[in-house]
Amino acid sequence: HEYPEVMPTGFCFMMERNLIDQIGTFDEGYVSYGEETDFWMRTITRITNGEISNWKAVLADDTYLFHERGSSFSVMPDEEHMGYRKAGASRFHSIWPTFKQWNETFDMTKTLQKLRSPIAHTLIKKENPPYSVCFVVYSTEQGCGGMKVIADIVNHLNEIGVEAKVAHIKRNPALKSIPLSSLRSGSIIFEGVDDFLHNFKERVFESGVVVAATGELMPAVAALTAQDPRLTSLHFSQSDDVSISPTKEQSKRIADANKLAEYTITNSKWTAEKMAKSVKVSGHISVGYDDLLFYPRNRADGDERPTVLISLGNTVYPFKGNDRGIDMCKALRKLCKENKKEIRILACGVDAVPSASFIVGLGLLTQTRFATLLGSEVDIYCDPTKNHSYGLPSLEAMASGVVPVCWNNKGINEYATNELDAIVLPNKTDASVLAERLYNLLFNEPKRYEGLRQEGLKTAAHFKRMKGVRQFVNLMEQTMNLRTEPKTIAIVTPHLRKYGGPTTILSTANMLKKSGHDVALYTIYTDISPDIQKQCEIPLRVDWKDIPACDVLIVNSDNPHTKFFSELAHIKKKVLLKLSHNKRFQSLEAMH
219 located within any domain: yes
The top-scoring range by mean pLDDT among 120-124, 238-242, 272-276 is 272-276
CA gap 174, 153 in Å, rounded: 29
145: left (phi over 0), alpha (psi -120 to 50) or beta: alpha
pLDDT digits (tens, 9 = 90+) for 320-375: 889 999 999 999 999 999 999 999 999 998 899 999 999 999 988 888 889 999 99
Residues 451, 362 share a domain:
yes
Q: What is the DSSP string of 130-168?
A: S-EEEEEES---TT-HHHHHHHHHHHHHHHTT-EEEEEE
pLDDT band at residue 219 using 50, 70 and 90 as cut-offs: very high
Q: Summarize the confidence of residues 453-466 as an average pLDDT.
A: 95
Q: Which residue has the higher pLDDT, 573 or 179?
A: 573
E runs forming strands in 364-517: 380-382, 403-407, 423-425, 488-493
- CATH number of the domain where residue 455 is located: 3.40.50.2000
Nearest to 391 by CA among 380, 401, 404: 404
Residue 142, pLDDT score: 61
Query: Structural domain tally of the chain?
Result: 4
Residues 408, 383 share a domain:
yes
pLDDT digits (tens, 9 = 90+) for 262-276: 999 999 999 999 999
For 245, phi and psi rounded to 5 degrees? Answer: -60, 140
Residues 253, 137 share a domain:
yes
Flag whether pLDDT at 98 surpasses 90. Answer: no
Can you give the residue range of the structural domain that contains 497? 488-588
Residues 143, 90 share a domain:
no
Residue 70, pLDDT score: 63
The top-scoring range by mean pLDDT among 182-196, 293-307, 313-327, 338-352 is 338-352
The Cβ-side half-sphere exposure at 497, using a 13 Å CA radius, reads: 6
Secondary structure class of 147 (helix, strand, coil): helix
Residues 186, 272 share a domain:
yes
Residues 103, 28 share a domain:
yes
Residues 152, 109 share a domain:
no
Residues 560, 500 share a domain:
yes
Residue 123, pLDDT score: 44
Residue 317, pLDDT score: 64
Instruction: Report pTM.
Output: 0.65
Q: What is the DSSP string of 337-388?
A: HHTT---EEEEES-S--TT-TTSEE--SPPHHHHHHHHHHH-SEEE---S-B
Which of 79-83, 84-88, 558-562 is least confident?
Answer: 79-83
The CA-CA-CA angle for residues 291, 297, 300, to 5°, reads 165
Flag whether pLDDT at 591 surpasses 70. Answer: no
11 located within any domain: no
- State how far the alpha carbon of 365 is from the alpha carbons of 141, 241, 369, 575, in Å: 10, 23, 6, 61
102 located within any domain: yes
Flag whether pLDDT at 225 surpasses 80. Answer: yes
- CATH number of the domain where residue 561 is located: 3.40.50.720
The top-scoring range by mean pLDDT among 10-24, 360-374, 461-475, 575-589 is 461-475
* Domain boundary residue, one of 59, 85, 116: 116
Which percentage of the chain shows pLDDT scores above 90? 51
Quick count: other Cβ atoms within 10 Å of Cβ 86?
Answer: 10
Residues 275, 348 share a domain:
no
Residues 437, 311 share a domain:
yes
Q: Summarize the confidence of residues 518-543 as an average pLDDT.
A: 92
33: left (phi over 0), alpha (psi -120 to 50) or beta: left
pLDDT digits (tens, 9 = 90+) for 469-485: 999 999 999 999 898 78
Residues 326, 182 share a domain:
no
In DSSP terms, 490 is beta-bridged to 520, 553
Q: Which residue has the higher pLDDT, 396 or 248?
A: 396
Contact 167, 188 (CB under 8 A): yes
pLDDT band at residue 491 using 50, 70 and 90 as cut-offs: very high
Secondary structure class of 94 (helix, strand, coil): helix
Secondary structure class of 244 (helix, strand, coil): helix
4 located within any domain: no
The top-scoring range by mean pLDDT among 2-11, 335-344, 531-540 is 335-344
Sign of CA dihedral 276, 282, 284, 290: negative
Flag whether pLDDT at 412 surpasses 70. Answer: yes
Which percentage of the chain shows pLDDT scores above 70? 90
Sign of CA dihedral 297, 303, 305, 311: negative
DSSP H helical segments within 96-128, as ranges? Answer: 99-103, 108-116, 121-124
Nearest to 367 by CA among 138, 159, 170, 150: 150
Q: Which residue has the higher pLDDT, 307 or 88?
A: 307
Residues 529, 427 share a domain:
no
Residue 118, pLDDT score: 47
In whole numbers, what is the pLDDT of the chain averaged over residues? Answer: 87
DSSP 583: G
573 located within any domain: yes
pLDDT digits (tens, 9 = 90+) for 388-399: 878 889 999 999
CA gap 536, 506 in Å, rounded: 7
* Domain boundary residue, one of 63, 84, 116: 116
